[in-house]
Amino acid sequence: MQDDRNIVIVGGGFAGTTLARRLERLAIPGHRVVLVSEESYTTFHPMLAEVVGAAVFPEHVVAPIRQMLHASRFVMGRVAAVDWQRRTVVATTLAGRQEIAFAQLVLAFGSRANLELVPGLAEHALPLKLIGDAMFIRNRILQRVARIELESDPLLRRRLGHFVVIGGGFSGVEVAGQLADFLRGVRRYYGRVAGDELRVTLLEGAGRLLLEMPPALAGAALASLEARGVDVRLGARAAQVHGDGVRLADGAWLDSATVVCTIGTKPNPLVERLDVALERGRIVTAADLSIPGRPGAWALGDCALIGNGVAADDPGGVPPRDALAPPTAQFAVAEANALALNVAAQIAGRPTRAFRHVSKGAMATTGHLKGVAELFGVRLTGLPAWLLWRAYYLLQMPTLGRKVRIWVEWTWAMFFAADITHLRFTRTHEADAPDAAAIAALAAAPLRP
């Protein structure tokens, strides 16, 4: 098959992998799918909070892209540029710079975490966007609790034991709930740490949590968090983050050595190099998800600004705010399903269709075995919502073997204590290396008679 018959997808997240699988099923004659992504796996972001709380293992929230695809080619590499004249993408791979020709190009490379929204965030807060972030936060929590055991200064103990989460959206609510449960679960292994020395505060600038959900469910989430001892502060904005605490916009001060940031995204730096129309750093698409002025090019997911339910004959431009598709996993998947049909239609010379999706609802966990959900208008709280959430993500996992393994491990984890292993990635030569600080202390110690 000629390379210039490639349908190249940039980005192996929710949007890119769903699209590739859908295109495989459509089996467009004479074309093959090439998925280029910088990691070898796709991350189920909505479950990252559960990795933070050690409710699931990190491998349970990622899926290897090669196992998700069957007839497509996967290239692990970071796309650095698109040459629209020669119709190639330029990628940096393990084997150096590679050029991949395309007949159709789909951009699905998501967004990045924004640590510039509040002064001090970048220096002192812990973002939650990647699987590495979640593992780092989990380790940091265990490190803090272990350190409290060894400290006698009450102020330092208070700072070390106070965990502040910024943002009362889905991930903030989930992280706060998971943190509270995790801290309660691990405390019994740290005999010198009292229960009231471990606290979680959730800061939300708006007047309520989960703005994406109906007020009744947001209220249920608030009650569930408060029942777990989380101090939820509504209408509270972080104005400055320091290494030892957070200053709020109203002047109040929170002593805290650990701040988790779940707010804000910024554009992937690749968008600036594409020479396409942007709005707030996102690629402006036509109603059918094509990129105006770039024949055979499309965009979807978090990197794109997409109208939902815009008329097919719309002259283009930026849709009004209330007609925009939100940057969520559910919409990324719906866009991918619609786009696969449009790519096939365009290749076959048939008319394409405008994207339209009615939200099926939303779900969020508020800690171990607790959650809130609204699905097709039906509202659930507590364990049923949590089970629904887990079932949904289990179904997304590729291969039967992986599904069964994860289901068994999740069921096991429902009844037993969370894992408190603080894994340090120390390698043999580091473990065997002389401890520089210990040697310096030895050298400085006075000689004994």
Ligand X SMILES: Cc1cc2nc3c(=O)[nH]c(=O)nc-3n(C[C@H](O)[C@H](O)[C@H](O)COP(=O)(O)OP(=O)(O)OC[C@H]3O[C@@H](n4cnc5c(N)ncnc54)[C@H](O)[C@@H]3O)c2cc1C
Q: Which is nearer to ligand X, 156 or 264 (CB)?
A: 264
Rg (CA), the chain: 24
Burial track 399-414 (b if 16+ CB lie within 10 A, e otherwise)? eeebeeebeeebeebe
> Which of 87, 129, 159, 370 forms a contact with ligand X (CB under 6 A)?
129
**Contact string 170-199 vs ligand X (x = CB under 6 A):** xx----------------------------
CB atoms within 10 A of CB 358: 8
Q: Does 330 bind ligand X (CB under 6 A)?
A: yes
**Applying CB under 6 A, which part among 12-20, 229-237, 378-386, 405-413 lies near ligand X?**
12-20
Cα angle 421-426-431, degrees, rounded to a multiple of 5: 120
Options 105-113, 316-324, 392-400, 441-449: segment touching ligand X (CB under 6 A): 105-113
Counting contacts by CB under 6 A, is residue 114 touching ligand X? no
Residue number, 42 or 245, with CB nearest to ligand X: 42
Of 9, 62, 79, 380, the one binding ligand X by CB under 6 A: 79
Task: Report CA torsion sign: 16, 17, 21, 22.
Answer: negative
Contacts with ligand X in 136-175 (CB under 6 A)?
A: 170-171
In contact, 296 and 103? CB cutoff 8 Å:
yes
Task: Please identify which residue in 20, 23, 36, 306 interacts with ligand X, judged by CB under 6 A.
Answer: 36
Nearest residue to the partner ligand X, using Cβ: 13
CB of 224 to ligand X, least distance (A): 16
CB of 217 or CB of 332, closer to ligand X: 332
User: Going by C-beta distance under 8 Å and a sequence separation of 6 or more, which residues neighbour residue 205?
Assistant: 168, 235, 236, 237
Q: Which is nearer to ligand X, 155 or 378 (CB)?
A: 378
Report in angstroms how near the CB of residue 145 gets to ligand X at its nearest: 23
Q: Which of 16, 161, 167, 168 binds ligand X (CB under 6 A)?
A: 16
Amino acid at the residue 11: G
Q: Which of 23, 125, 128, 213 binds ligand X (CB under 6 A)?
A: 128
- Alpha-carbon span 224 to 219, nearest angstrom: 9
Residue 425 CB, nearest approach to ligand X (Å): 21
* CA-closest candidate to residue 169, choices 239, 242, 261, 231: 261
In 252-360 the beta strands, taken as DSSP E runs, fall at 253-255, 258-261, 265-267, 278-279, 282-284, 297-299, 304-305
Which of 22, 45, 159, 199 touches ligand X (CB under 6 A)? 45
Query: Phi and psi (nearest 5°) for 235?
Result: 65, 25
Stretch of residues binding ligand X (CB under 6 A), selected from 323-331, 379-387, 402-410, 416-424: 323-331
Beta bridge partners of 246: 241, 254
Q: Are the beta carbons of 376 and 344 closer than 8 angstroms?
A: no
The residues of the shown chain that bind ligand X, judged by CB under 6 A, are 10-16, 36-39, 42, 45-46, 48, 78-79, 108-110, 128-129, 170-171, 268, 270, 301-302, 327-330, 332
